Amino acid sequence: MRLGTKLTLYLSLIIVLVLSGYGYFHILSRRDILMRKMKIEVRSIGQTLKVSLEKISLPRGMELVQDLIDAVEEDEKIQGVIVFHRSKGLLFKSQSLEEEIEPYLNLIQKAMEENLPQEAFKFYKKTPVFSYAFPLKDRRGQTIGGVSILQNTSFVEREIRRAERDIFITIFILLSGTVVFILLGMRKWISHPISRLMEATRELARGNLDLQMDWRRKDELSQLGQAFNQMAIELKEAQQRIVKEAEKKLELERTLRQSERLATVGQLASGLAHEMGTPLNIISGRIELTRKRTQNGEVQKNLEIIAQQTERITKIIRQLLGYVRKKKGEQARVLVGELLDSTLSFIDYPTMKQDIKIIKDFQKDLPPIYGDRDQLQQVFLNLFLNALQAMPQGGTLRVATSLKQILKEGMENGERSYVEIEVQDSGIGMDKEILENIFTPFFTTKETGSGLGLMVAQGIVQDHEGWIEVESEVGRGSRFKIYLPSWEG
């Protein structure tokens, strides 16, 4: 059942119950009032008749009061009048009364015996009649007879029926008014907004987040609609944020892959150069030697060509090396704390998703370092990503900085101050075997790992005259410490 129908039914039921109750009591009291009024009327008529009839000496002189009786009978509500005399019997009976007056005579009899007016409801030929009987006295106070006035009460019933009809009409009008009002009101204030909301929900489900509906009213449904609008805005923002995060992450991964790939090629190239350098040197030496020893022009010429080509191979290798070895980036003052902050912001989406808590423990007034911001960022990022990958079930990533005075072996002018960057996770940790290999190119324990991250990181840190230290415990986590010379310029 629809909301509107339900509400209409309930309200109609309430209206019918309340109005019926009201109508019932209204009719009861109306009947009561009418009856009472009628009785008073009859009694006062009776009083008038009594006074007049007692003035004349009954049974004579009946004609003296005939006018009065006629006047009483003229009232359409009066069914008839009966005057009875103790010794003479029936003195007067209205013409409208034919027979069956026995019960009324009995009532007069009772009034005379008890010396008190009597009242009774009786049917006279199917008409409801109220009869009022009272005794008559002579001058000495002796009861000499009695009178009964018969009042037709069907007008009361008519009145009551009219009142009932009025109440029915009222109920009907109120009911139809309510139904129309509720149906219209429901449509305007409830059904219509709800179907708009439903439409909006459907649109939202279809992915249309730009939907903004107009809700002007101040009622709850409009507030819901406004909240809905707000939700669409927030959803859209969230979606944009997620898209941006994802793009950022993708971009990050792309650069990371790129640098790793370059590093791989570089590794290969330098390995190649190293491996080929020795044989090439030997070849060059032998060519030189042979050329000195032979006089044969043809051999000389051939040796010349071989020498040139060997030279060419060496050059190509050198070129390859020069190409892959990323040119040293811009060297500048780098504030480590700031750089760590901005690098951490790259990973706030995965940390949130993985339920990882980040603790920053940066030393204040840390001196800057000197180096390539992009490369250093890559180092930090590699460590952060490794830490995240080591904590698939969540955990804590602590990043701390501090200034250390360290005396490095082989250093001539004593101690030097280093910025220490600690990256500590509460992840899976590493055993001794893994720990020994983490900087080896292509060493990885991950299904999709490249095994180059730490190697590249180490290369960069070493380029900056720093180094990396690692501590780790299986099941408890790992701590990487990077040392970079501080710049006090």
Ligand X SMILES: Nc1ncnc2c1ncn2[C@@H]1O[C@H](COP(=O)(O)OP(=O)(O)O)[C@@H](O)[C@H]1O
133 vs 383 by CB, closer to Mg ion: 383
308 vs 445 by CB, closer to Mg ion: 445
279 vs 392 by CB, closer to Mg ion: 392
Q: How far is the CB of 398 from ligand X (least distance, A)?
A: 12
Per the CB < 8 A criterion, the answer to whether 466 and 451 are in contact is: no
202 vs 360 by CB, closer to ligand X: 360
Which residues are at the interface with ligand X (CB under 6 A)? 382, 386-387, 390, 425, 427-430, 434, 438, 443-446, 449-455, 478
Q: How far is the CB of 303 from ligand X (least distance, A)?
A: 46
Report what 230 binds from ligand X, Mg ion, none; CB cut-off 5-8 Å by kind.
none
Distance CA 482, CA 485 (A): 10
Instruction: Give the residue closest to Mg ion by C-beta.
Output: 453
Report what 425 binds from ligand X, Mg ion, none; CB cut-off 5-8 Å by kind.
ligand X
Q: Which of residues 373-392 bind Mg ion (CB under 5 A)?
A: 386
Distance CA 370, CA 373 (A): 9
Distance CA 157, CA 164 (A): 10
Q: How far is the CB of 442 from Mg ion (least distance, A)?
A: 12
Residue 380 CA: distances (Å) to CA of 173, 241, 384, 385, 386: 81, 24, 6, 9, 10
Per-residue b or e along 340-362, where b marks 16 or more CB atoms closer than 10 Å to that residue's CB: beebbebbebebeebebeeeeee
Q: How far is the CB of 255 from Mg ion (least distance, A)?
A: 14
338 vs 473 by CB, closer to ligand X: 473
46 vs 395 by CB, closer to Mg ion: 395
Report what 131 binds from Mg ion, ligand X, none; CB cut-off 5-8 Å by kind.
none
Q: Are strands 356-361 and 477-485 parallel, antiparallel or unpaired?
A: unpaired
Out of 145, 368, 453, 485, the residue judged to bind Mg ion by CB under 5 A: 453
Provide the 3-class DSSP secondary structure of residue 95: coil
Q: Are strands 89-93 and 78-85 parallel, antiparallel or unpaired?
A: antiparallel
Number of residues that bind Mg ion (CB under 5 A): 2
Q: How far is the CB of 313 from ligand X (least distance, A)?
A: 32
Strand-pairing partners, residue 479, are 424, 471
Report what 444 binds from Mg ion, ligand X, none; CB cut-off 5-8 Å by kind.
ligand X
Per the CB < 8 A criterion, the answer to whether 94 and 124 are in contact is: no
Distance CA 43, CA 41 (A): 5
Report what 387 binds from ligand X, Mg ion, none; CB cut-off 5-8 Å by kind.
ligand X
Q: How far is the CB of 265 from ligand X (least distance, A)?
A: 17
Distance CA 91, CA 62 (A): 8
Q: What secondary structure letter does DSSP report for 368?
A: P
Residue 181 CA from chain centroid, whole number: 30
Q: How far is the CB of 267 from Mg ion (least distance, A)?
A: 16
Segment near Mg ion (CB under 5 A); pick from 172-180, 200-208, 412-420, 450-458 = 450-458
133 vs 454 by CB, closer to ligand X: 454
Distance CA 277, CA 275 (A): 6
